[in-house]
Chain A
Amino acid sequence: MEKVIQPAIQSKPRTESSGRLRRFWNNKTLLLMCLPAIAFFIVFAYLPMPGVYLAFIQYNYADGIFKSPFVAFDNFRFLVMNGDLWRLTFNTVAYNLVFIVLGNVLQIFVAILLNELRRKWFKKVAQTLMFLPHFISAVLIGLIAYNILSYDYGLLNHVLASFGMDPVKTYSNAAIWPFIIVFTFLWQSTGYGSIVYFAAIMGLDNEIIEASEIDGANAFQRIIYIIIPWLKPTFIILLLFSLGGILKGNFGLFYNLVGANNTQLYATTDIIETYVFRSLMTNFNFSIGSAVSLYQSVFGFVIVITANWLVKKASPENSLF
């Protein structure tokens, strides 16, 4: 039997195309299982991509995409000349930098403190409460801010009044909004973000801690010389990953905190996402909106590649590709 079969297999001509076909046939079920996802991403992610063409035309509704005049880089030139692009980039990047740095520092701080606590029930209750803000919708975040900041009824002015101080007009004072937005962001994300660091501390070998105690290390020394260095790799990785998204803004947070049409606050609160949204829904300037999006996508792409390259250098097993 063997003698018969063996040559039969070997003599079969293995051309490139038959190998490819066999590979396809062997994988057909798995391929079919991926098909819905492939279709999904084609429709919702790849089909809109040629739409970046909108950035190079002067889109008007009557002519549609194909007949609107082609203007090459005029939309970008316009955005650079009137300063919008610079302002948006600055706001988006500056907010993200502050979010990333303060966010991670606070998350580490909370994780370390949580780890020092001994009462189990207290930890559980505290964590449940600290995660709560992460699970509510952006709309509710906006309402909470309104509860505190509203000029007429807000808690803040209520408290100020009880100390005999003048009420503040928060919603027309652009200068204080960076603080409000950063504060709200930290309030919402610190508890949830601390989980990663908390889990990392849990991964620390207990024997190391015990050895340090035998050597006479106190609580401060334990935190400074053991726990913080232990968290450093996690911190660096998370930092680099978030740097990859530094041009992407948190639309829900900004939009619901600031309000849809509060022009007085744009100088300090307008980010790429809110600007694009407005060009689409309020100003109907599709081309300008697309130009800003394309700028964001291209530079975001470059930044992610760079960040990933850095991750690869810092710890190859964590790199994305």
Chain B
Amino acid sequence: MEENIVESRSIRTDASEVIVRWFGYIVISIFALSCLLPFLLILGTSFTTESAIKKFGFNFWPKEFSTFAYKIVFENPDIIVGSYIVTIAITVVGTAVGLFLVAMTGYALQRPDFGYRNGISFFIYFTTLFSGGLVPFYLLVTQYLSLKDNYMAVLLPGLLSPFLIIMMKSFVRSIPHAITESAKIDGAGDFTIFIRLILPMTTPALATIGLFIALGYWNEWYNSMLFLSPNMEYRPLQLFLYNVVTSADFVRNSAAASNVSLRDVPLESMKMATAVVATGPVIMFYPFVQRYFIKGITVGAVKG
């Protein structure tokens, strides 16, 4: 955590220091390992033959190594590639549009000279206090907006959230209002100021908020499950994974296209292989961006 590590202080090493430090290393090591191991369990099982799974159960290290599950997953790459494309498209479009809207709204609502800022802020914040509930929301999307089996039902509700707008507001607060004022004196309009001045000055904030939105879309499965029916050909990755994990029939059907008899479909290892394919790339990506998430939670956590 770049900003946070205090360099070794001049500390006398007495017994208590040593005890606390060793205790810390041990506890943190155990906890950190416990966070990693389940992923290795999935990875290991995905490379295990079905017969070994039936005999020895799930294992970190394949007792009998096999790439059969992956072969079947990719035998018919259409489905998984289609899922990837759907998820990437929703994530990219949703993040771009959502980020722009969050930034624009957050900036406007943080302007001290904006006469309606309190009213609109409350209008947005109120939605976290009271909601119509799931059933009216479901009826709205399916019956009144007619978005059943439409990717828009996944894309649209994730664009904005009061939480992210509040986070943007607290980022913008650190930019002196004088910058906006002097640009106004020079004759710049509000929108121009936002695009030309504020956006370039808030890139770290935008990265943080953008990653929050992107992560939300990538892990999205709730709206997908509500609004996209199982017979859709290409479904977002997490919904696809959910179907694979929860329905043996679904796995058999998707394996049916390959030349494997239904009896031989490696049900268990296919679940794991699908999970690896659906999650792996993101986990690889994540250590490089985690500092932005840390910035987000430290800004957003206490206030709002």
Give which listed residue, B133, B191, B194, B304, contacts A293 with CB less than 8 A: B133
Interface of B is mostly: helix
B70 interface contact, C-beta 8 A: no
With A129-B33, A131-B293 in contact, is A41–B124 under 8 Å at CB? yes
Per-position contact with A for B202-236: 1 when CB-CB < 8 Å, else 0? 00000000000001001111100010000000000
Contacts of A146 in B (CB 8 A): 245
Give which listed residue, B20, B131, B191, B219, contacts A45 with CB less than 8 A: B131
With A29-B191, A110-B28, A138-B219 in contact, is A37–B41 under 8 Å at CB? no
Q: Kindly provide the distance from the CB of B297 to the nearest chain A CB, expressed in whole angstroms.
A: 5
Closest B-chain residue to A44, C-beta based? Answer: B157
B interface residues (Cβ-Cβ under 8 A, vs A): 1, 3-6, 8-12, 14-17, 19-21, 23-25, 27-29, 31-36, 38-39, 41-42, 45, 53-54, 56-59, 101, 104-105, 107-109, 111, 114-116, 120, 122-125, 127, 129-140, 144-145, 156-157, 159-160, 165, 189-191, 194, 215, 218-222, 226, 238, 241-242, 245-246, 268, 271-272, 275, 279, 282-283, 286-287, 290, 293-294, 297-298, 301-304
Q: Kindly provide the distance from the CB of A171 to the nearest chain B CB, expressed in whole angstroms.
A: 13
Give which listed residue, A140, A192, A234, A301, contacts B279 with CB less than 8 A: A140
Pull 8 A–B residue pairs with CB atoms less than 8 Å apart, ordered by A: A33-B105, A135-B282, A135-B290, A148-B41, A157-B57, A199-B298, A256-B242, A293-B134
State which residues 167-189 of A face B: CB under 8 Å. 187
Give which listed residue, A51, A234, A300, contacts B139 with CB less than 8 A: A51
Give which listed residue, B23, B105, B120, B304, contacts A320 with CB less than 8 A: B304
Give which listed residue, A31, A37, A152, A220, contacts B20 with CB less than 8 A: A220
Query: Is the CB–CB distance between B24 and A289 below 8 Å?
Result: no
Query: Is the CB–CB distance between A289 and B135 below 8 Å?
Result: yes
Distance in angstroms between the alpha carbons of A49 and B279 in the assembled complex? 36
A306 interface contact, C-beta 8 A: no
Query: Is the CB–CB distance between A187 and B34 below 8 Å?
Result: yes
Query: Is the CB–CB distance between A31 and B116 below 8 Å?
Result: yes
Contacts of B156 in A (CB 8 A): 44
Query: Is the CB–CB distance between A238 and B302 below 8 Å?
Result: yes
A259 interface contact, C-beta 8 A: yes
Per-position contact with B for A24-44: 1 when CB-CB < 8 Å, else 0? 001101111110111011011
Q: Kindly provide the distance from the CB of B137 to the nearest chain A CB, expressed in whole angstroms.
A: 5
A71 interface contact, C-beta 8 A: no
Query: Is the CB–CB distance between B245 and A27 below 8 Å?
Result: no
Closest A-chain residue to B140, C-beta based? Answer: A48
Query: Is the CB–CB distance between B58 and A150 below 8 Å?
Result: yes
A153 interface contact, C-beta 8 A: yes
A68 interface contact, C-beta 8 A: no
Contacts of A52 in B (CB 8 A): 132-133, 136
Distance in angstroms between the alpha carbons of A155 and B20 in the assembled complex? 32
Distance in angstroms between the alpha carbons of A129 and B107 in the assembled complex? 34
Distance in angstroms between the alpha carbons of A24 and B158 in the assembled complex? 30
With A33-B105, A213-B12 in contact, is A126–B32 under 8 Å at CB? yes
State which residues 218-255 of A face B: CB under 8 Å. 218-221, 223, 234, 237-238, 251-252
Q: Give the bracket for the number of chain A residues in contact with chain B.
A: 35 or more
Q: Give 8 A-B pairs besides A33-B108, A135-B282, A206-B6 with Cβ atoms closer than 8 angstroms.
A: A30-B108, A47-B144, A113-B20, A113-B23, A129-B32, A136-B279, A187-B34, A277-B134
State which residues 106-138 of A face B: CB under 8 Å. 110, 113-114, 116-118, 120, 122-133, 135-138
With A137-B221, A196-B302, A259-B246 in contact, is A144–B105 under 8 Å at CB? no
Give which listed residue, A38, A113, A260, contacts B27 with CB less than 8 A: A113
Per-position contact with B for A194-217: 1 when CB-CB < 8 Å, else 0? 011011001000100110010000
Query: Is the CB–CB distance between B139 and A192 below 8 Å?
Result: no
* Candidate in A40, A138, A292 with the most chain B CB atoms within 10 angstroms: A40
Distance in angstroms between the alpha carbons of A17 and B287 in the assembled complex? 56
Contacts of A221 in B (CB 8 A): 16
With A136-B279, A147-B45, A155-B41 in contact, is A34–B108 under 8 Å at CB? yes
Query: Is the CB–CB distance between A289 and B134 below 8 Å?
Result: yes
A190 interface contact, C-beta 8 A: yes
Distance in angstroms between the alpha carbons of A243 and B169 in the assembled complex? 24
A interface residues (Cβ-Cβ under 8 A, vs B): 23, 26-27, 29-34, 36-38, 40-41, 43-52, 54, 65, 110, 113-114, 116-118, 120, 122-133, 135-140, 142-144, 146-148, 150, 152-155, 157-158, 187, 190-192, 195-196, 198-199, 202, 206, 209-210, 213, 218-221, 223, 234, 237-238, 251-252, 256, 259-260, 273, 276-277, 279-281, 286, 289-290, 292-294, 296-298, 300-301, 304, 318, 320-321
Contacts of A129 in B (CB 8 A): 32-33, 35-36
Give which listed residue, B12, B56, B101, B238, contacts A36 with CB less than 8 A: B101
Q: Kindly provide the distance from the CB of B231 to the nearest chain A CB, expressed in whole angstroms.
A: 16
Query: Is the CB–CB distance between A130 and B32 below 8 Å?
Result: yes
Contacts of B25 in A (CB 8 A): 117, 122
Query: Is the CB–CB distance between B131 and A223 below 8 Å?
Result: no
Contacts of B157 in A (CB 8 A): 44
Give which listed residue, A142, A294, A318, contacts B133 with CB less than 8 A: A294
Distance in angstroms between the alpha carbons of A124 and B27 in the assembled complex? 15
Distance in angstroms between the alpha carbons of A145 and B34 in the assembled complex? 13
Query: Is the CB–CB distance between A140 and B241 below 8 Å?
Result: yes
Q: Kindly provide the distance from the CB of A113 to the nearest chain B CB, expressed in whole angstroms.
A: 4
Query: Is the CB–CB distance between B286 and A126 below 8 Å?
Result: no
